[in-house]
Chain A
Amino acid sequence: MRLGMVIDLKRCIGCYGCQVSCKAENGTRPGTTYARLIKREWGTFPDVQRLSIPLLCNHCSEPPCVDVCPTGASQKQESDGIVFVDGDVCVGCRACVMACPYGARYYQDREHTYFDSEGPNEYETTRYLEHVRGVVEKCDFCRHRLAEGLDPACVTNCMSKARIFGDLDDPDSEVSRLVREEGGFPLTPEAGTEPNVFYLPPDRPPTNDRQVTP
């Protein structure tokens, strides 16, 4: 099994719901956004285009972050291809942060809280227990949710239904079909990392199918 995600740039409305749904699910500290979004603009008025591009770990088939890890903390899960960090083994050297071409890894050098001078609030006191200072953290496709039969939080929440999750090794899966039939492409393929997050082009032709997707 090779778990992967398809992000439909035609559907995405750039609302940042993915960034905050990830934050809410994983209770991450300030500045850590496993799911995030960038906006890019090109052209000259009035022929100008703006595009919102959601980003997250690409769970690459050839992950440079795993290769450079000196302790073996950064691993690729054999059963499904999820790239994750074992916080108990990570020593915080941050070689992986440098190696990742997607900026998908985060390191907190101190215990940042959102209401800085006030210290952690009740929520942060509870949720930050899940995070260890001094180690690298990243998206793991919400492994804890997958274990319960759920999709990653950003997929479940996306209000324009722009994120589809599944097994890219299964040719009959929705993600495989979309990549094959709707022109799915990865980011920075030249890095040779063989990403498992694919994007559908924003300007692709209509399906003309009135069937409402669930």
Chain B
Amino acid sequence: MIENQAQEDVWIPSACSMCYNQCGILAHRKEGTLVKIEGNPDSPYGRGRLCARGLAGIQMLYDPHRVDRPLRRTNPVKGIGVDPEWEEISWDEALDLVTAKLAEVREEDPRQLFFSGTVVSLSPLMHMLGTFLPAYGTPNAFVSDGHQCGNAEHILARTLHASVTTNPDARYCDYLLLFGCQAGLGTYYALTTMAQDVADARVRGMKLVVVDPYLSQAAEKADEWVPIRPGSDGAMACAMLNLLVNEYGMYDAEYIGHHTDGPYLVGEDGRYVRDADGKPLVWDTGPGAARPFDAAGRPTESAALTGCYSVDGKRCKPVFQRLKEQVAKWTPEEAEKVSTVPAERIRHIAREFGEAARIGQTIEIEGHELPHRPAAALYFKGAHGHDNAWPTSLAIELLNEVVGASNVPGGLMGTNPVCFGHPETGFPRWNPTAGAEGLLEAGALLHNDIDGPTPGWPPPPESAELPNLRDLIGWPITTCFTPAALNDDENFGGAVRPKMLINYGSNLLMSAARPETCFEAFKDCFVVCSSLFSDETAEALADIVLPDASYLERLDPVPNFARHHHPVGLGDWGHQIRQPAVEPLHERRHFCEVLLEIERRLGINEVANLMTNFAYGIPPEFALEPDEEYSWEEISDRIYKGWFGSERGLAWFQKNGVLSWPKQVEEVYWKPFSEARAPLYNEWLVRYGEDVRRIAHEKGMSGIDTKGFLPLPDWFPCQAHKPVPGFDLQAIYYRVPWHTFSMTYENPWLDEISRGEPYSYYVCINAATARAKGIHDEDPIVIEGTDGARIEGRARLTEGVHPEVVAIANNGGHWARGMPLAKGTGVFFNQLQKMDLEHTDLVSLSMDCDARVRVYPAEGG
């Protein structure tokens, strides 16, 4: 407890959690009340600057509508919009009920416990996934905001960059090409730091080109805004690839030959040609013969990138030759038909991109001569939120790979895949290596970022007894598809059914497609929500609501995914603490502490202790003993000491907030120092696709279609492109950086922004399109999907949106009684979204985040 509150005036270093990025903050507490939040200038996560959300967290802490005590449903009827008729109960009573149900389910089959979480409350989410769930014995977890997540980007960040995400090396970049992405300009990874670097770069003269159907915050700052038909970014990128490798000859042969699988030979069966030991072969133009890619222990200097060869009587071609042929059909004119982007414009952007990459040039940085490739192309939800996500994302990624602008100065960077650790302890330590076939093997991906439990290559499909989607397609690190699979008896009828759902911090009814999807999947379960608010999910589904401590009321020893919360490029590494700015108010409790108590009550605490050691990589000296009981503070102390030495335990971090040390050139620009090759050709998908087809056939899963399992880039239409008479528009959603998904709509400071801002609480429609439909500015309108789904909103006529598109910000339109400020503000885009196999890219589990619609004035409007 806080003593001497009367004299108190303290600044507490901690970490934000108002969005995914978890920046460093300083919380100012006076006489027991939090009076201000600022950025922490000592933290590499934000370097002292915060976004509107981070500054506004204080109004979430003191929101009088927060859940303050455990609640039990008294209305036996569950339903969307139903009043649960909460009654307040004691924590003891709540935990008795929860533990009894957990014990009963576990006795029968622990896999019947399902879990949903949110990446915004990242640290407790990871603790749950890494410790409680494995100790309990269920693999059935999903991230309900998975469709807002990286999906295909995460897979390619893993195989090409040994990381989970990407960002541009703004300090050296001269040409930044964004597809449906707002890196450093709006919502994206490490926004508050990347915004500083990207602004510096733009002032310096970096050209910014933004491809987006909507004049987003990023597009507003662009030197060129390229409005595009949603879901066709891949066609434009394929055409750019075609121009670079076939027409302009702008590619980095040295990089492709030595740092990718470009010279690997591929047979007509779509597989690498291998020798008797399984080593991929290249064609050595010296002697004119095939030889292993690393014959004599080093890359073959004279390996062919082009041509057609015969090995043991079988025709084969180098990967790069296959790529050239694959993209040849994508002329700029073909891409124009699909994307509406004029062919001449595609040509000039491709040429500028290729020229900006300065192929062949080097730069000296801190005594190292490095390739200088100051051009980067990256993408996010706008481009890959479609069921053609995989080939689209691959096409954009390969723009960087063919010009060699990958993890070198000025190019596209994996978010910090190499770290040599703190100078005194060598922890945390991440280093990707080359596997037996010479390809890049990602190191550990998440916050157990220590050598040891490295997942390496994406896991292959498994033929489980009761197959669920994740057995079949386990490699995407996030998905929200689980509820859709539960509703799909035809394909997943044999999978384990849920009897209980624990939902931590997420509002899945609003975040995972239309609310009926999640409601149907879990309506017969015992549902426990640990939540800040009695939100739509709690009101519709929860039997018990546990009052969660917000990020300003709790201790998280590992608040960051260090890799992708850091900006890329030179600067500092840092490890920070999240600690209570105030003690939990009322009867709110930290979810991790609740889990510790439930583990003890269930008798799974010994296994949970072992899982904690594993999940956090705690070295033996500080490891938890299985049979001891530990407080959350004691566990945190051991994590810190294990990573940073016995003198830097919890007390050190409570006082200092953040431990930083400088990044080294070999860490940041790691590619020239690594022998690992990035696969341009995704042979693994050819193999996995065959396995998935076989398993699906054996199990009678007729809805599994592997047409998208493509080893090289291509484009095909997404569901929202299917013509339906009368439905002439595509509805898309975009993001503003003062809201996070749906969670911030209850925050009055952020609501105040949207109320004063012209677009984000409206449906943006092209002015000419609107006029042709008799729609005026401010008119109430209906947006209706081809399956009858309807949403309403007010029209905002603007020139800043593609004529075939209506654009809606984030995910508003709350209806819960427990969030009265949020209720009715903004527009509920997700009602238009159908989640099923048809609308999902099965390589990345990315769903089609747009919809074919028609728009008309609301009756009586």
A80, chain B: closest CB distance, angstroms: 24
Most chain B CB within a 10 A radius of its CB, from A20, A49, A126 = A20
Q: Is A70 an interface residue (CB 8 A)?
A: no
> What does the 1/0 interface line of A138-158 toward B look like (CB < 8 Å)?
000000000000000100111
Q: Is B59 an interface residue (CB 8 A)?
A: yes
Q: Is B299 an interface residue (CB 8 A)?
A: no
B residues 164-208 touching A (CB-CB < 8 Å) = 171-172, 185-186, 191-192, 195-200, 202-205
Hey, which chain B residues are within 8 Å of A41, CB to CB? 215, 798-800
> Which B residues form the contact surface with A (CB < 8 A)?
30-31, 33-39, 46, 48-52, 55-56, 58-59, 61-65, 171-172, 185-186, 191-192, 195-200, 202-205, 215, 217, 219-221, 225, 227, 737-738, 748-750, 752-753, 756-759, 766-768, 798-803, 821
Q: Is A21 an interface residue (CB 8 A)?
A: yes
Tell me if B205 and A157 are in contact (CB < 8 A).
no
Interface size on A, residues (CB 8 A): 56
Q: Is A51 an interface residue (CB 8 A)?
A: yes
Q: Is A98 an interface residue (CB 8 A)?
A: no
Cα–Cα, bound, A45→B245 (Å)? 32
Given A15-B737, A115-B748, A158-B49 contact (CB < 8 Å): yes
Hey, which chain B residues are within 8 Å of A162, CB to CB? 199
Partner of B33, one of A17, A46, A123: A123
Hey, which chain B residues are within 8 Å of A161, CB to CB? 196, 199-200
Cα–Cα, bound, A212→B116 (Å)? 42
Q: Is A77 an interface residue (CB 8 A)?
A: no
Hey, which chain A residues are within 8 Å of B227, CB to CB? 45-46
Cα–Cα, bound, A113→B282 (Å)? 71
Partner of A114, one of B31, B50, B749, B767: B749
Cα–Cα, bound, A124→B475 (Å)? 47
Cα–Cα, bound, A114→B58 (Å)? 12
Q: Is A62 an interface residue (CB 8 A)?
A: no
Tell me if B51 and A15 are in contact (CB < 8 A).
yes
Cα–Cα, bound, A20→B36 (Å)? 11
Hey, which chain A residues are within 8 Å of B203, CB to CB? 8, 10-11, 206-207
Hey, which chain A residues are within 8 Å of B34, CB to CB? 123
Tell me if A20 and B48 are in contact (CB < 8 A).
no
Q: Is A23 an interface residue (CB 8 A)?
A: yes
Cα–Cα, bound, A209→B171 (Å)? 11
Q: Is A118 an interface residue (CB 8 A)?
A: yes
Given A41-B799, A51-B220, A157-B39 contact (CB < 8 Å): yes
Cα–Cα, bound, A122→B34 (Å)? 8
Cα–Cα, bound, A15→B205 (Å)? 21
Tell me if B55 and A20 are in contact (CB < 8 A).
yes
Hey, which chain B residues are within 8 Å of A21, CB to CB? 50, 55
Hey, which chain A residues are within 8 Å of B186, CB to CB? 13, 15
Tell me if A15 and B52 are in contact (CB < 8 A).
yes
Partner of B753, one of A8, A20, A121: A20
Cα–Cα, bound, A161→B195 (Å)? 9
The 10 closest A-B pairs by CB, nearest first: A206-B205, A114-B748, A160-B199, A121-B62, A48-B799, A20-B52, A118-B64, A159-B49, A159-B195, A11-B199
Tell me if A39 and B758 are in contact (CB < 8 A).
yes
Partner of B204, one of A19, A121, A208: A208
A142, chain B: closest CB distance, angstroms: 12
Hey, which chain A residues are within 8 Å of B756, CB to CB? 33, 36-37
Q: Closest A-chain residue to B187, C-beta based?
A: A15
Cα–Cα, bound, A39→B800 (Å)? 12
A residues 187-214 touching B (CB-CB < 8 Å) = 206-210, 212-213
Hey, which chain B residues are within 8 Å of A48, CB to CB? 215, 225, 799-800
B268, chain A: closest CB distance, angstroms: 44
Partner of B58, one of A24, A49, A206, A209: A24
Tell me if A115 and B195 are in contact (CB < 8 A).
no
Hey, which chain A residues are within 8 Å of B49, CB to CB? 17, 156-159
A206, chain B: closest CB distance, angstroms: 3
Q: Closest B-chain residue to A43, C-beta based?
A: B799
